[in-house]
Amino acid sequence: MPTLRTGRRALVTIGACLAVGTLAAGCTTETDTSNSQPTNASVEGNQAQGDTVVIGFSGPAADHGWLAAINSAATAEAEKYGDIDLRVAEGTNDANLQISQVEQFINDRVDAIVLLPTDGAALTPVATQAMEAGIPVINVDREFSSPAAARATILGDNYGMGVSAGAYICEELSGNDSAVVAEIAGIDSLPLTQDRSRGFADALEACGLDVDNRVAADFTVQGGESATAQLLSAAPKIDALWNHDDDQGIGVLAAIDNAGRDEFIMVGGAGSANAMREIQAGEGVLKATVIYPSTQAADGIRLARLIVQNKAMSDLVEVEVPRRIVLNAPVVTGENVDQYLPTAFES
């Protein structure tokens, strides 16, 4: 496993030079005596092939469009680099099996582990074990319960998703103080669902609205259809509806169609290709969706490579990879859908 000490000492020296503005005047490091050479924090140095990095990746079972995209994007990203050796564990929703996968990575002495835990709290002890063994862990999407369990964490913005959806609805319903707003959540026991709902409620409150009707589904097509049928039966009038997840949104739209309802606007969540095509067509109730990036594990692969090779993110002045990165949650509408559709995942 590569030693980190020398590279970090060199990077610290570079950082000190930058801080006092003397790098251009000829400040040098222990390993680089020419200021014309690319550093590990430059675009060229960042991309330059280095020592092979063995990365263990453990992700979820691909039983959902977004989760399948997470896994495939991670694999595709690793294939772009000649210095990455990616070891992929079988996708699973079983926390105990995933723990054993991480233990195997530790025994194999991989250089880094990228982990989207089926349960963040359950995987925290074994991730901490990997960190204590000198193996940096990159935590993806579902956060561990201890910051000591990961060298870096990359997350979608669940609270921000709710805020984005609520802000869009506030704008669309501007002036309608009596508007009826409905919400179809995902699995209520998950912190990510709770964060999305909290962000949505906070954004609505800012414009004088609230959630009048709410049901929870289970991130599946069948669950979305069943929960939506229940909601529509209980709410004879709706002005706007936010559905947390575009995969379950297939069922949501089916229930809406079956009920013959079209008096409201609908906002989706996650940003699937089929949702974007529906928005692009502009013929149904779905007018927007909020992105929850399916690139998180792919970003984790890149970060793992940079960390092990003592490199940094070239667009930052900081000479080490940040400990925590939260991705944006933009709203996709008919006006900007062409920008996002090429990279959307298929439900």
Domains of the chain: 52-156+296-309 (3.40.50.2300), 158-292+330-343 (3.40.50.2300)
Residue 216: band (very low, low, confident or very high) from pLDDT cuts 50, 70, 90: very high
Radius of gyration of the chain (CA): 23
Write down the pLDDT at residue 28. Answer: 39
Q: Render pLDDT for 4-54 as a digit per residue (tens, 0 to 9).
A: 333 333 333 333 333 333 333 333 344 443 444 556 767 787 788 889 999
Q: Of 129, 131, 130, 152, nearest to 141 (Cα)?
A: 152
- 23: closest CA among 31, 33, 14? 14
pLDDT at residue 63, as a whole number: 84
Average of pLDDT values for 224-230?
A: 98
Kindly report the number of other CB atoms within 10 A of residue 3's CB atom: 9
pLDDT in the model for residue 289: 98
Separation CA 107–CA 241 (nearest Å): 49
Task: Considering only the C-alpha atoms of the chain, give the largest distance between any 2 of them, rounded to a whole number of Å.
Answer: 73
Per-residue tokens: 143: 């956060």
Q: Which two tokens stand for residue 123?
A: 């995987």
Q: Which residue has better confidence, 314 or 69? A: 69
Q: Report pLDDT digits (tens) over 154-198.
A: 999 999 999 999 999 999 999 999 999 999 999 999 889 999 999
| Mean pLDDT over the full length of the chain | 89
In this prediction, residue 317 has a pLDDT band, given cuts at 50, 70 and 90, of confident
- Compute the CA torsion angle 282, 288, 289, 291 (nearest 10 deg): 110
The pLDDT of residue 10 is 38
Report pLDDT digits (tens) over 42-71: 778 778 888 999 999 999 898 889 999 999
Return the exposure string of 61-75: e unless at least 16 CB atoms fall within 10 Å of the residue's CB, then b. eeebbbbbbbbbbbe
